[in-house]
């Protein structure tokens, strides 16, 4: 018998990815965020300092509302001029714009720099949420590649440094909710559920379309609590109360201003008509929006509530005339949402990225199904329910960006090998 003392396994030199993650910049989400933010700031500085980009403020309804707020005229006039109170957009981002206008001047380069920096900060922070989600469900290797790709992803950079909208903020908030949902699994701590309700309230007031995923993520958490043998009714009810408390002040404002209950936004009829009209081909038709001088005149004369109701009736009548045609166009909208629009503002390279992400994402989803990756229900329901409203109204390349972080994780998980056993992934 050998008298040599065996070397214990836990004294061996670490070679696992998790050990490397603690020592390497490549596995550091802090570096991903910092570098991603620096890249975006550089893009902003180049654009503004060389005057290669003039901010077309009048194209942005949110900027017009921010203008009205900054001048003390209230949440109003989404198309410029003085057309009265509005619920055309969710309120959070227009208030951010109004803050920029108050500090740096209305429609100024300083305000543009502030807003692009604001967008870029949240776009860069999304590398962190992407990393954490992928690390929890796949592996450190998948997480690192996902986070770094997002940091340099031209498509993500584009929206943060070019477009004055809530696009980058929405992507961050929805990915943060995805991460929070995973972290809350089997937790009945009331603070976690209060935080969940507050974050959903912020999302609702930022990008109302994302609410389609709220009941599904909430039900998944309740089910996981039930499976763990923990009471779920009290935390679920508390979270729902917090959510409604967060959005109720805006609902009260809408009721007092319009003498009608309007759930956050009141432009669905107009959006429905812009995608469902005699010229409909599966995308936005500008002649059926307030960009059309005749419709804008009607909007001013009738007021927003009556105008939106009229547009909704016109769209419903058009749909009722030929339901088969409507469903055919819905199918086109489905294809456009996932593959890109025939006409787009994106440069060719970013169009290709947009289109390429879809097959890689769904290939990653199939791979995850085969490997029994934990959290599949969240992936599938988000990808299924979030786009539904755009299949009925109209898609835009910008609208998909809110779920792009999740699509990227799935795409990278397909390309990058993951050797973590299914039982360990499920245990995280």
Per-residue pLDDT, averaged over 25-43, amounts to 95
Q: Does 144 fall in a domain?
A: yes
Per-residue pLDDT, averaged over 388-415, amounts to 96
Compare 18 and 150 and report the one with higher pLDDT: 150
Per-residue pLDDT, averaged over 338-359, amounts to 73
Q: Does 4 fall in a domain?
A: no
Query: Which residue from 123, 118, 72 is spatially nearest to 92, judged by alpha carbons?
Result: 118
* pTM for this model (two decimals): 0.91
Full residue range of the structural domain in which residue 271 is found: 24-427
Element (DSSP H or E) covering residue 206: none
Q: What is the DSSP letter of 51?
A: T
Q: Does 124 fall in a domain?
A: yes
Q: Does 6 fall in a domain?
A: no
pLDDT at residue 13, as a whole number:
41
Q: Does 298 fall in a domain?
A: yes
Q: Which long-range contacts (CB under 8 A, 24 or more apart) does 328-333 make?
A: 329/275, 329/276, 329/280, 329/281, 329/282, 330/391, 330/392, 332/281, 332/282, 333/275, 333/282, 333/283, 333/390, 333/391, 333/392, 333/393, 333/394, 333/395
Query: Which residue from 227, 43, 213 is spatially nearest to 120, judged by alpha carbons?
Result: 43
Q: How confident is the model at residue 29 (pLDDT cuts 50, 70, 90)?
A: very high
Q: Does 246 fall in a domain?
A: yes
Number of domains in the chain: 1
Lowest mean pLDDT, pick from 12-21, 52-61, 120-129, 208-217: 12-21
Element (DSSP H or E) covering residue 199: helix 190-204
Query: Which residue from 397, 67, 378 is spatially nearest to 223, judged by alpha carbons?
Result: 378
Q: How confident is the model at residue 87 (pLDDT cuts 50, 70, 90)?
A: very high
* E strand residue ranges, 174-328: none
Q: Does 8 fall in a domain?
A: no
Q: Does 16 fall in a domain?
A: no
């Amino acid at each position: 018998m050998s008298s040599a003392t065996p070397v214990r396994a836990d004294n061996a030199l670490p070679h696992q990815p998790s050990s490397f993650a603690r020592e390497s910049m490549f596995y550091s989400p802090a570096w991903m965020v910092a570098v991603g933010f620096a890249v975006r700031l550089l893009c902003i500085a180049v654009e503004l300092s060389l005057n290669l980009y003039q901010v077309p403020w009048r194209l942005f309804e949110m900027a017009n509302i921010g203008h009205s707020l900054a001048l003390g005229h209230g949440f109003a006039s989404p198309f410029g001029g003085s057309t009265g109170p509005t619920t055309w957009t969710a309120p959070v981002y227009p208030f951010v714009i109004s803050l920029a206008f108050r500090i740096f001047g209305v429609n100024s380069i300083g305000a543009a720099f502030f807003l692009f920096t604001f967008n870029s900060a949240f776009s860069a922070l999304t590398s962190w949420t992407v990393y954490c989600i992928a690390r929890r469900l796949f592996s450190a290797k998948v997480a690192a590649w996902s986070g770094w790709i997002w940091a340099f992803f031209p498509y993500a950079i584009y929206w943060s440094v070019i477009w004055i909208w809530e696009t980058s903020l929405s992507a961050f908030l929805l990915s943060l909710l995805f991460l929070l949902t995973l972290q809350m699994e089997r937790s009945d701590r009331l603070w976690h559920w209060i935080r969940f309700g507050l974050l959903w309230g912020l999302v609702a007031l930022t990008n109302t379309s994302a609410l389609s995923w709220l009941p599904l993520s909430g039900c998944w958490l309740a089910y996981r609590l039930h499976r763990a043998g923990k009471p779920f009714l009290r935390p679920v009810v508390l979270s729902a109360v917090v959510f409604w408390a967060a959005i109720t002040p805006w609902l009260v404002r809408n009721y007092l201003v319009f003498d009608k209950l309007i759930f956050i936004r009141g432009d669905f009829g107009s959006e429905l008509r812009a995608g469902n009209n005699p010229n409909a081909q599966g995308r936005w038709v500008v002649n059926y929006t307030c960009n059309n001088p005749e419709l804008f005149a009607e909007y001013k004369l009738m007021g927003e509530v009556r105008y939106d109701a009229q547009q909704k009736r016109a769209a419903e009548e058009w749909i009722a005339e030929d339901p088969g045609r409507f469903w055919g166009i819905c199918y086109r909208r489905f294809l456009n949402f996932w593959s890109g629009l025939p006409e787009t503002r994106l440069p060719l390279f970013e169009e290709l990225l947009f289109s390429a992400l879809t097959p890689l994402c769904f290939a990653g989803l199939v791979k995850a199904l085969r490997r029994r990756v934990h959290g599949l229900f969240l992936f599938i329901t988000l990808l299924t329910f979030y786009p539904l409203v755009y299949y009925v109204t109209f898609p835009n390349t910008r609208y998909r960006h809110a779920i792009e972080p999740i699509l990227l994780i799935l795409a990278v998980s397909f390309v990058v090998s993951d050797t973590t056993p299914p039982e360990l992934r499920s245990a995280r």
